[in-house]
């Protein structure tokens, strides 16, 4: 069956798993996380089409699980191209599986000069088995509309300087990024909060601030929310670099995905990092990293520190090491040894009642230095420094805030977050639209 599916593919921007938690994924989330209570709610049931069903043109869409993990109500974020004039509005569509309409959220990603939809975002949830493929149809046309509404889900509450999505509140300046995460209690504490770049002289600059940041709600739910911050960073000697920060949250999974992209044509920067200040209650806190041997330990006081580093050298040796000890005085704790020289870039930090599961996308995927640092004051930092100068820096981090015990009710493992489903659109539709498949997954 899989051999008959077109080879052109779009990576579903779906990040979070709904598989039963596996030991190889380690303790992760229990109930809600930075997004769960924000809206893990029931969706409308499928609508069976009757004799007087709507008729329109359609595009085939296949969703495929490629990692070998069962997904339950896993979010899919497909992008479907349209020729100019083919789709006047994003509400003239619906999603079908066999003869049943599937609840989905539709929005225009971009428009043609005549105002018609160029790229259509289709957000929906899929329950699918390991390495299984599901076939769908996106039906569109002037007489088409969705009868199966997306149902209840993520709700946005906005004021002058902040926006709340469920129990998660973000600033509108990107720095600080998280204002509050509160389920059983507040999980955000004082400290560095948001993205930063580092120039070749070692000076750090925050992405965002009180002036010059454009804040936009790209997708307003209820199935999927996307926030966008854009602006410029003023470097030394008056130089500037543009940045974009995106925050994404599905209604069916309890995580928050944050991504920063910085264009640096003059190669003035050497690193990009993300920082999250956590409040997990009384210590000790337990930490772990997803190495082959499952590396773990504890932070017993405010000065305690643990750092995972993975160096990927150009034409040289690659390996990882974990260092622990008082902050600034860390010493070797574990090294690559006989294990694989590249780790997956995920782990957990657990307090008495709160746990944060984290994952860094594309960890150690290209030459450079990749680092995850945790300390007893609650500061979590994620850092990537390319081995050679680049003109574009990008970093994606997932955070999942849950309660203990994580073994009960955990629905999303870090490997699932890092390996989204694949959504494939009929190649003939790209030809008809004159558009190329998106390069990003």
Average pLDDT estimate for 131-157: 92
Are 399 and 256 in contact, with CB atoms under 8 Å apart?
Answer: yes
List the domain boundaries for the chain. Answer: 2-17+42-151+421-433, 156-416
| Predicted local distance difference test score (pLDDT) of residue 440 | 62
Residue 411 pLDDT grade (very low, low, confident, very high; cuts 50, 70, 90): low
Predicted confidence band at 406 (pLDDT cuts at 50, 70, 90)? low
In angstroms, what CA-CA distances link 364 with 157, 186, 218, 292?
Answer: 37, 32, 30, 15
11 has a pLDDT exceeding 80 = no
The fold for domain 156-416 equals: Beta-galactosidase; Chain A, domain 5 (2.70.98)
The SS3 assignment for 135 reads strand
Rounded Cα distance between 134 and 100, Å, is 13
* Number of neighbours of residue 223 by Cβ within 10 angstroms: 25
Dist. CA 104–CA 237, nearest whole Å: 49
C-alpha distances (whole Å) from 254 to each of 29, 32, 37, 87, 90 are 8, 5, 7, 33, 27
Cα 234 to Cα 237: distance, rounded to the nearest angstrom: 9
Q: Say what the pLDDT of residue 413 is.
A: 83
**Residue 407 confidence (pLDDT):** 63
* Residues 439, 184: Cα–Cα separation, whole Å: 40
Q: Is the pLDDT at 18 greater than 50, yes or no? A: no
**pLDDT interval class at 343 (50, 70, 90):** very high
Give the model's pLDDT for residue 21.
35
Q: Rounded to whole angstroms, what are the CA distances from 22 to 29, 378, 413?
A: 12, 27, 7
Say if residue 172's pLDDT is above 70.
yes
From CA 76, how far away is CA 103, in angstroms rounded?
12
Confidence of residue 414 (pLDDT cuts 50, 70, 90): confident
What number is the average pLDDT over the span 1-7?
Answer: 38
Beta-carbon contacts of residue 429 (< 8 Å; ≥ 6 apart): 59, 80, 81, 82
Give the pLDDT band (50/70/90) at residue 182.
Answer: confident
- Residue identified by tokens 């955000």 is 188
The answer on pLDDT for 6 being more than 80 is: no
Q: What is the mean pLDDT of the chain?
A: 86
- The strands making up 168-171's β-sheet, listed across from edge to edge, are 156-158, 162-165, 168-171, 178-181
Query: What single DSSP character describes residue 415?
Result: H
Q: What distance lies between CA 99 and its chain's CA centroid?
A: 32
**CA distances to 139, 269, 389 from 200, in Å:** 51, 5, 10
pLDDT at 27 (0 to 100): 36
Which residues fall within 8 angstroms of residue 317, CB to CB, at 6 or more apart?
311, 341
What is the distance, to the nearest Å, from the Cα of residue 71 to the centroid of all Cα atoms in its chain? 16
What was the pLDDT predicted at 380?
98
Mean pLDDT of 168-187: 93
Q: Is the pLDDT of residue 354 over 80?
A: yes
- Using 50, 70 and 90 to split pLDDT, how confident is the model at 239? very high
Q: How confident is the model at residue 237 (pLDDT cuts 50, 70, 90)?
A: confident
Distance (Å) of CA 238 to CA 105, 187, 232, 234, 268: 43, 37, 12, 6, 12
pLDDT at 55: 63
C-alpha to C-alpha distance for 78 and 98, rounded to whole angstroms: 18
Distances (CA, A) of 329 to 77, 117, 135, 309: 44, 56, 55, 15
Region 198-224: mean pLDDT is: 95
Query: Which range has the worst mean pLDDT, 230-234, 278-282, 324-328, 434-438?
Result: 434-438
Return the exposure string of 9-44: e unless at least 16 CB atoms fall within 10 Å of the residue's CB, then b: bbbbbbbbbbbebeeebbbbbbbbbbbbbbbbeebe
**Distance separating alpha carbons of residues 99 and 147, to the nearest angstrom:** 13
pLDDT at 260: 98
CA gap 349, 400 in Å, rounded = 10
88-143 pLDDT, tens digit each: 999 999 999 998 999 999 999 999 999 999 999 999 999 999 999 999 999 999 99
Please, which pLDDT band fits residue 291 given cuts at 50, 70 and 90?
very high
DSSP 350-391: E-SSEEEEEEETTTT-SSEEEEEEEETTSEEEEEEEESS--S
Predicted confidence band at 54 (pLDDT cuts at 50, 70, 90)?
low
Place of tokens 């809600």: 32
The pLDDT value recorded for residue 180 is 96
pLDDT-derived band at 149, boundaries 50, 70, 90: confident
pLDDT digits (tens, 9 = 90+) for 39-51: 332 333 444 444 3
> What CATH code would you report for 2-17+42-151+421-433?
2.60.40
* 77-96 tens-digit pLDDT: 999 999 999 999 999 999 99
For 267-279, what is each residue's pLDDT tens digit?
Answer: 999 999 999 999 9
- Closest to 299 measured CA to CA, from 246, 347, 245: 347
């Amino acid at each position: 069956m899989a051999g008959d599916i077109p080879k052109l593919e779009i990576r579903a921007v779906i990040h979070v798993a709904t598989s039963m938690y596996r030991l190889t994924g380690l303790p992760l989330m229990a109930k809600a996380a930075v997004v769960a209570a924000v809206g893990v709610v029931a969706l409308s049931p499928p609508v069976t089409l009757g004799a007087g069903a709507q008729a329109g043109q359609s595009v085939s869409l296949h969703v495929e699980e490629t990692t070998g993990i069962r997904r339950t109500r896993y979010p899919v974020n497909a992008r479907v191209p349209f020729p100019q004039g083919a789709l006047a509005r994003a509400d003239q569509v619906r999603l079908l599986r066999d003869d049943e309409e599937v609840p989905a959220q539709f929005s225009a990603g971009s428009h043609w000069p005549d105002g018609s939809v160029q790229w259509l975002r289709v957000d929906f949830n899929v329950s699918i088995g390991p390495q299984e493929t599901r076939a769908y149809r996106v039906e569109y046309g002037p007489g088409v509309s969705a009868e199966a509404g997306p149902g209840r889900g993520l709700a946005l509450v906005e004021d002058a300087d902040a926006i709340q999505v469920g129990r998660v509140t973000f600033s509108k300046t990107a720095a600080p990024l998280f204002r509050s995460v509160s389920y059983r209690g507040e999980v955000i504490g004082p400290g560095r909060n948001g993205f930063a770049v580092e120039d070749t002289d070692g000076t750090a600059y925050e992405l965002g601030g009180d002036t010059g940041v454009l804040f936009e709600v790209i997708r307003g739910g209820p199935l999927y929310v996307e926030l966008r911050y854009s602006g410029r960073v003023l470097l030394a000697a008056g130089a500037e670099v543009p940045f974009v920060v995106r925050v994404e949250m599905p209604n069916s999974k309890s995580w928050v995905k944050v991504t920063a992209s910085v264009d640096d044509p003059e190669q003035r920067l050497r690193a990009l990092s993300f920082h999250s200040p956590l409040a997990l209650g009384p210590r000790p806190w337990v930490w772990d990293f997803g190495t082959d041997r499952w590396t773990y330990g504890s932070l017993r006081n405010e000065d305690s520190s643990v750092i995972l580093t993975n160096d990927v050298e150009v034409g040289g040796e690659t390996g990882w090491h974990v260092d622990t000890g008082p902050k600034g005085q860390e010493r070797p704790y574990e090294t690559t040894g006989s294990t694989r020289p590249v780790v997956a870039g995920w782990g957990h930090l657990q307090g008495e009642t709160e746990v944060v599961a984290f994952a860094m996308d594309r960890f150690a995927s290209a030459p450079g230095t990749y680092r995850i640092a945790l300390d007893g004051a609650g500061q979590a930092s994620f850092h990537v420094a390319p081995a050679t100068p680049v003109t574009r820096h990008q970093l994606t981090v997932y955070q999942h805030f849950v309660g203990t015990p994580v073994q009960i009710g955990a629905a999303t493992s870090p490997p699932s977050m890092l390996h989204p489903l694949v959504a494939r659109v009929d190649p003939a539709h790209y030809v008809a639209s004159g558009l190329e498949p998106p390069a990003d997954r």
